[in-house]
A and B are shown apart, each in its own frame.
Chain A
Amino acid sequence: MRSSISLSLLLLVFSVIGCEEPFSPKVALNDEYVLQCFVEGDFGRVVTPVNLLLAKVYDVEGLNPWLNTNDPSVLGAEVSFSINEKAYSLAMAVRPSKDSTRYGPEERYYVARIPKPEPYNVLTVVAKLPTGKVLRAQTTVPKARAFNSSYPFARGITTGVNLPPGTRDWTIDWEDYEPTEGHLFFPRLMIGYTKSVGDAEQGYTITVPARYIQSKDGPVPVYHTYSTQKFCSFDFPAIDSAMASISADDPKKISYAVSSALLEVIEFDAPLSKYFSSMGGSLDPFSIRVNQTVYSNINGGTGIFGSYFTNKAYFDFNPDYVRSFGYRYR
């Protein structure tokens, strides 16, 4: 009996202890600023706008930041952008917002029309905030690349070549044996084609997958993504499938014209490569990770300032290969 009473008392105590205590996963908001700017490199000093976003870290009721409707943009900052030693000032500007649901129809940003920086140019950004705080970052534009193809394709791309045993893909590399500090590359191969609609020719592109894998729902395309690899490859069946899908169920194959494919390889500089690497990762579904360090190269704040360079090369198709699908070659 005494044991029962003791046990009941204990349970009562535990029930009281079991009351929930208030808990918040947040700490008090401090003044913290975010600078974000991506710059594309190119040859020829093409004059282009450089856009820069400057914002303040904000808080919301609860944990859903998408509920924030107070524009966190920082106005009135002095922002300078320099290519090597030549400096340009960025001015406050307004443009239509792509997402008007949060901060209204306009987006505030800093912009300057400047010549696109070339490979190896050193870029520096300095933002002096109205509070006196200074954010600063620097990067170097990636170099340009030359491509090498695994097949010479004397008359253009075709999958009808005599393949060595065990090979069934087309590989393009841009290896030059110079260290790249782990730069990330994003390759994609696009077939450009036109379709006759009445008297007009309308242009389209289709992206070629790297390969297909079999699933219970049929073949699934796999595309290249960010990688440090200095090559990319495309299965011949994937090229065939992409070519075939241009006209899909359209029986009028002759209304399509195909001539070449465009290979684009975007090379990201060191800060952007680290930035995307730090946001990547593929956990298994049972692993739960609670922290994640996202790379930032902004001194005095957070965010990212980086550059990228898009390498391009056109590869003609073999006319016979194009015609084998019923398309016109031009």
Chain B
Amino acid sequence: MAYANVVLRGTSLGASTNSVGYFHIASIPSGRYTLVVSYLGYHTQLIPLTIEGGKTVQVNIRLAPSVIETQEMIVVGERPERLNEPDLGMQKISAQDIAIVPPGVEPDIFRTLQMSPSVGATSDISARYFVRGGGSDQNLVLLNGATLYSPFHTLGIFSVVDPEMVSLLEFHKGGFPPSYGGRLSSILNVVTRDGNRNEFHGVGSASLLSGKVAVEGPIPSGSFLVTGRKSWYADVMKKYLNNRDAPFDFYDFSWKISSAEPSIDRNSRFAFHGFFSGDQVKNDDPFREDYLVRNRILGLNWHKIWSNPLYSIVSVSISGFDAEVMPKLSPTKPRKNKLSDFTADWDFTYVYDSRDELNFGLQNKFLSTTLELENTFGNRISFDQSGWDVNAYVDYRFYRWESIGITIGIRFKFEAISEYRPLLYEPRASFTYRMTPSISLKAAFGWYSQELLTLSDENELISVFEPWIITPTYLNSAQATHLSLGAKVYWVDDCTTEFEVYYKPIRDLIDENEEKFMATDRDFINVDGESYGVEFLSQYEPQRLHMKFGYALTWAHKMKDGVRYYPRYDARHAVNALMGVDLGSGWQASATWVLRSGMPFTPIAGFYDRVTVNPWSEPYDYVVPEAVTLWGKRNSSRLPYYHRLDLSLIKQFHLGGAAVAFGANVVNAYDQKNIFYFNRDTGEEVYMLRILPSVSLKVEL
């Protein structure tokens, strides 16, 4: 269990478990103690301990759930944290945090992320998120340590990660430690929960879009958890696509088997996990193309306590991504992308008596990508690359002082998958100073690089096919620097405010070559960019209430061909407000309100009559001119402000032996006409989601 609270009663000593449930309390004087272990929604355990000098005591703890109702939606209690933790830019999101956000049609972890300041989206249609002015492919999503390459269903509308299986989300918006690499902007570490070790348990739920089940229970020496979700009503998708036909079909399926067999090794625990998802658009019409997108992950995590206090995790995984456009008889060109990833990581943590920690590890990855395309003029392009990505890191964390926390680390790249690797080493550092018991000052710095990218055209508001490739051999791989300063204020119990300023220059981003007019021209070019901003997050979480208010002021721009412009995901102002309240008697309500600057767009600078050559007519230069648009400077205007209110009301009750939750949700409750785009041909304003009521049902046995 991640981030459970572990304290020695009557002392100031304590810790919180890490993302996979381990904890270590150093420098405990000899004596008799009571270890208090607590976690929201579970019975608190008191464990008597006797500590002898120079010896390490190992304790295995199993918590039992307290009440089932609390798992649906309830105020998240005080989350333990090391007050000198250098964690600037890091956010922990629990399953309850996900549940509290009005789900729209389907609960979604990425929409929960978008409630965080400086995490934006370009439309209601897409759960793709953009962090601090970075592109969407600059965000790494890890599922139990394995890379999830396409974490979206159906055009990016929903995430493939079923919130039902989530134990914890660790979200790093910047300044992330050396144990993470390969992306420029953010890390989302999704840790799935273990199954129930005490009893069998099943959950079935349904929304207008999909049905899902989760089954879990004990097995000898461990537990299992299986979740599955399947779409069943594609017509709901029409609402997202302005009533265009959308014969979508998707599924996701995950499982996790956790085992700790003391007779084999009392200091080891294994987690064998798998994840599969698939999306397809299957048109009956032979003149409309079909689409297929698939993810797969198979992984094994071996947690081992060597000789205390050395702890390691071996993570071996195979993950992959396939995408294909099958044109059938349509004019669409065939496209195919395949990515295979074999990862073997070995991460260690050593805890000193001084409470300092040394983290180090070796991270290996073999990647291969294949991309087959056919261009407009019938030329077939095959783009294959593969290689080893070998990294090692070391990260020393100073926790020895009560009021200061420092981490200093470096990530080395021994072998790179791209031709022109950007950096051989990436230093990282972060710092926290508790100025007073209620005010902490924080800072973070790091160099980051990225060699894998998606071929996405940021001018496409919706894109079905976004293939992954390794940086083309003729380009430099991208690199970024993160610099951030912040403060956290603990006003009173349950009320905090965080403030952060950041600057992120980026070199050698890979961008589409818009000047590619000939087949021989390069498809992609290197461009530079930078982003900077200020963000603010205030949370108030007294009993039965959860309030969160965030604001971000962001600038992001790119330089292309000597012209500086704002990418489409640049949102100058963004306000997020969230309120969840437990109304009693099983009633829970929540609301979110989002306001953000409109997306940049390229305005119309005028019109002209364009002459074209029609080889079917003679003479070729005398056809009726076509009246067309002359576009202005790229992304030099903005759409109007975007704002939206979502509401959710849930009633929980018992029916027989089942716990039932019935939910009613409204997306865009006041039916704001947020402009998605202008149809360039007709001038029609196309709006994002209009008011959309829906219901959901969840039954737990």
Interface residues of A (CB under 8 A from B): 3, 7, 10-11, 14-15, 17-18, 20-21, 23, 25-27, 29-30, 32, 34, 36-40, 51, 53, 55-60, 62-66, 68, 72, 98-99, 181-182, 184, 186, 188, 213, 215-216, 220, 226-229, 266, 268, 270, 272-295, 302-304, 308
Inter-chain CA distance A60–B609, complex, in Å, is: 13
Inter-chain CA distance A122–B273, complex, in Å, is 67
Query: Shortest beta-carbon distance, A62 to chain B, in Å?
Result: 6
- The complex places the Cα of A185 from the Cα of B518 at a distance, in Å, of 12
Chain B residues packing against A (C-beta within 8 Å): 155, 241, 244, 246, 281, 286-289, 291, 325, 329, 331-333, 376-379, 457, 459-465, 514-515, 517-521, 581, 583, 589, 591, 593, 601-613, 615, 619-625, 627-632, 634, 636-637, 639-641, 643, 645, 669-673, 675, 677-678, 680, 682-683
19 A-B interface contacts by CB (under 8 A): A14-B643, A17-B670, A17-B672, A21-B640, A40-B619, A60-B607, A181-B520, A182-B517, A182-B518, A220-B329, A270-B518, A272-B613, A277-B376, A286-B155, A290-B677, A290-B678, A292-B459, A294-B628, A303-B608
Cα A280 to Cα B377 with chains together (Å): 9
Inter-chain pairs besides A186-B615, A294-B628, 13 sampled, C-beta below 8 Å:
A11-B645, A11-B669, A25-B601, A27-B605, A30-B605, A32-B606, A57-B607, A68-B607, A220-B329, A272-B613, A279-B612, A293-B515, A308-B613
Residues in A neighbouring B515, C-beta threshold 8 A: 293
Residues of A with C-beta under 8 A to B619: 40
Contact A27-B620, Cβ < 8 Å, known A64-B683, A287-B460, A288-B677: no
B630 and A215 form a contact (CB under 8 A) = no
Cβ B677 vs Cβ A53 within 8 A? no
Contact yes or no, A25 B603, CB < 8 A: yes
List chain B residues, Cβ under 8 A from A188: 615
CB–CB A284/B332 < 8 A: yes
A201 to chain B, nearest CB (A): 22
Per the bound structure, the CA–CA distance linking A285 and B615 in Å amounts to 26
- Are A182 and B640 interface neighbours, CB within 8 A? no
In the complex, which of the residues A38, A62, A98, A278 contacts B683, with contact meaning CB atoms closer than 8 Å?
A62
User: Are A55 and B608 CB-contacts (below 8 A) given A11-B670, A184-B377, A291-B634?
Assistant: yes
Q: How far, in whole Å, are A304 and B628 apart by their CA atoms in the complex? A: 14
Cβ-defined partner of A281 (8 Å) among B376, B591, B678:
B376
Assembled-state Cα–Cα distance A188/B645 (Å) = 58
Q: Provided the pairs A277-B517, A287-B462 are in contact, do residues A40 and B604 lie with their beta carbons within 8 angstroms?
A: no
Contacts of A32 in B (CB 8 A): 605-606, 608, 630
The answer on a CB contact under 8 Å between B602 and A290 is: yes
Q: Given A25-B678, A32-B605, A182-B521, do A228 and B287 touch, yes or no (CB 8 Å)?
A: no
Q: Find chain B residues with CB under 8 A from A7 CB.
A: 591
Q: A272-B613, A290-B680 are in contact. Are A26 and B602 (CB under 8 A)?
A: no
Cβ-closest 7 pairs across A and B: A63-B683, A182-B518, A274-B517, A65-B607, A65-B627, A57-B606, A38-B621
Contact A14 B645 (CB under 8 A): yes
Given contacts A57-B606, A60-B607, A280-B376, contact A23 B615 (CB under 8 A): no
Q: A27-B632, A284-B465, A308-B613 are in contact. Are A59 and B622 (CB under 8 A)?
A: no
Contact partners of A283 in chain B: CB under 8 A: 332, 460
Q: Is B602 in contact with A284, judged by CB distance below 8 angstroms?
A: no
| CB–CB B637/A289 < 8 A | no
Q: Knowing A57-B608, A286-B241 touch, does A38 contact B675 (C-beta < 8 A)?
A: no
> Are the CB atoms of A289 and B459 closer together than 8 Å?
yes
Asked if A23 and B675 make an inter-chain contact with CB atoms under 8 angstroms apart, the answer reads yes
User: Which residues of chain B come closer than 8 Å to A293, judged between CB atoms?
Assistant: 514-515
Pick the contact of B602 from A98, A287, A291 — CB < 8 Å?
Answer: A291
Chain B: minimal CB distance from A147 (Å): 18
A62 to B684, CA, bound (A): 10
Bound-state CA distance A280–B374 (Å) is: 13
- The complex places the Cα of A215 from the Cα of B331 at a distance, in Å, of 13
Of the candidates A27, A64, A98, A286, the one having the most CB atoms from chain B within 10 angstroms of its own CB is A286
Across the interface, A277 reaches (CB within 8 A) one of B461, B462, B518, B673, namely B518
B377 contacts which chain A residues (CB < 8 A)?
A: 184, 226-229, 277, 280
Option from A10, A20, A220, A229 in Cβ contact (under 8 Å) with B379: A229
How far is it, in angstroms, between the C-alpha of A287 and the C-alpha of B281 when the chains are bound?
13
**Which chain B residues lie closer than 8 Å to A21 at the CB level?**
640-641
Q: Is the CB of B286 within 8 A of A216?
A: yes
A68 near B620: Cβ-Cβ < 8 Å: no
Task: Kindly list chain B residues whose C-beta atoms are within 8 Å of the C-beta of A181.
Answer: 518, 520
Instruction: Assess the A278–B517 pair: CB atoms within 8 A.
Output: yes
Do the beta carbons of B329 and A215 come within 8 Å of each other? yes
Using CB atoms, name the residue of chain B closest to A33: B608
Q: Write out the residue numbers on chain B whose beta carbons fall within 8 Å of the beta carbon of A292.
A: 459, 631
- In this complex, which of A64, A285, A295 has the most chain B Cβ atoms within 10 angstroms of its Cβ? A285
Q: Which single member of A62, A64, A182 contacts B519 (CB below 8 Å)?
A: A182
Contact B620 A302 (CB under 8 A): no
CB distance from B48 to the nearest CB of A (A): 45
Specify which chain B residues have a CB less than 8 angstroms from the CB of A289 in the assembled complex.
457, 459-461
B524 to A: closest C-beta gap in Å: 15
Whose C-beta in chain B lies nearest to the C-beta of A50?
A: B621
- Neighbour of B624 across the interface among A23, A53, A98, CB < 8 A: A98
Q: Are A276 and B378 touching (Cβ within 8 A)?
A: no
The answer to whether B460 and A14 have CB atoms under 8 Å apart is no
A229: chain B residues at CB < 8 Å are 377-379
Considering only CB atoms, which chain A residue lies closest to B683 in the complex?
A63
Residue of A nearest to B621 (CB): A38
Cβ–Cβ contact A27 & B603, under 8 A: yes
Q: Are A36 and B286 in contact (CB under 8 A)?
A: no
Residue on A nearest B673 in the bound complex, by CB: A20
Expressed in whole angstroms, the Cα–Cα distance for A34 and B611 within the complex equals 10
Query: When the two chains form the complex, which single residue of B605, B615, B621 contacts A29, counting CB atoms closer than 8 Å?
Result: B605
Given contacts A25-B637, A27-B632, A284-B325, contact A18 B465 (CB under 8 A): no
Contacts of A60 in B (CB 8 A): 607
CA distance A236 to B613 in the complex (A): 29
Contacts of B155 in A (CB 8 A): 286
Closest to A64 in B: B683
Q: Shortest Cβ distance from B594 into chain A, in angstroms?
A: 11
In the bound assembly, the distance between CA atoms of A11 and B666 in angstroms comes to 13
Per the bound structure, the CA–CA distance linking A57 and B609 in Å amounts to: 8
- Chain A residues with CB under 8 Å of B518's CB are 181-182, 228, 270, 273-274, 277
Count chain A CB atoms within 10 A of each CB in B287, B520, B601, B611 and give the residue with the most: B611
Q: Once the chains bind, are B615 and A65 in contact (CB under 8 Å)? A: no
Q: In the complex, are the beta carbons of A15 and B602 less than 8 A apart? A: no
> In the complex, which residue of chain B has the Cβ closest to the Cβ of A58?
B607
Residue of B whose beta carbon sits closest to that of A48: B619
CB of A273 within 8 A of CB of B624, answer no
Considering the chains assembled together, what is the distance between the CA atoms of A23 and B685 in angstroms? Answer: 10
Q: Which chain B residues lie closer than 8 Å to A57 at the CB level?
A: 605-608, 630
Give Cα distance in the complex from A215 to B675, angstroms: 38
Interface centre among B518, B583, B623, B624 (most CB of A within 10 A): B518
Identify which of B241, B521, B583, B640 contacts A3 (C-beta below 8 A).
Answer: B583
Contact of A40 among B514, B621, B630, B683 (CB under 8 A): B621
Q: Please name the residue on chain B nearest to A185 by beta carbon.
A: B377
How far apart sit A287 and B125, CA to CA, in the bound complex (Å)?
A: 12
Tell me which of A57, A62, A268, A281 has the highest count of chain B C-beta atoms within 10 A of its own C-beta.
Answer: A57
Please state if A23 and B639 are interface contacts (CB–CB under 8 Å). yes
**Separation in Å of the A231 CB from the closest CB of chain B?**
11
Q: Which residues of A contact B624 (CB under 8 A)?
A: 98-99
CB distance from A289 to the nearest CB of B (A): 5
Enumerate chain A residues within 8 angstroms of B615, measured Cβ to Cβ: 186, 188, 266
Which residue of chain B is the closest to A228 with respect to CB atoms? B519
Contact assessment for B602 and A51 in the assembled complex, using a CB-CB cutoff below 8 Å: no
Q: Are B607 and A284 in contact, with the CB atoms below 8 A?
A: no
Q: Are the CB atoms of B613 and A38 closer together than 8 Å?
A: yes
What residue in chain B is nearest A264 (Cβ atoms)? B615
Which of chain A's residues has its CB closest to B521's CB?
Answer: A182
Across the interface, do B670 and A58 meet the contact criterion of CB distance under 8 Å?
no
Which residues of A sit under 8 angstroms from B517, Cβ to Cβ?
182, 273-275, 277-278, 295
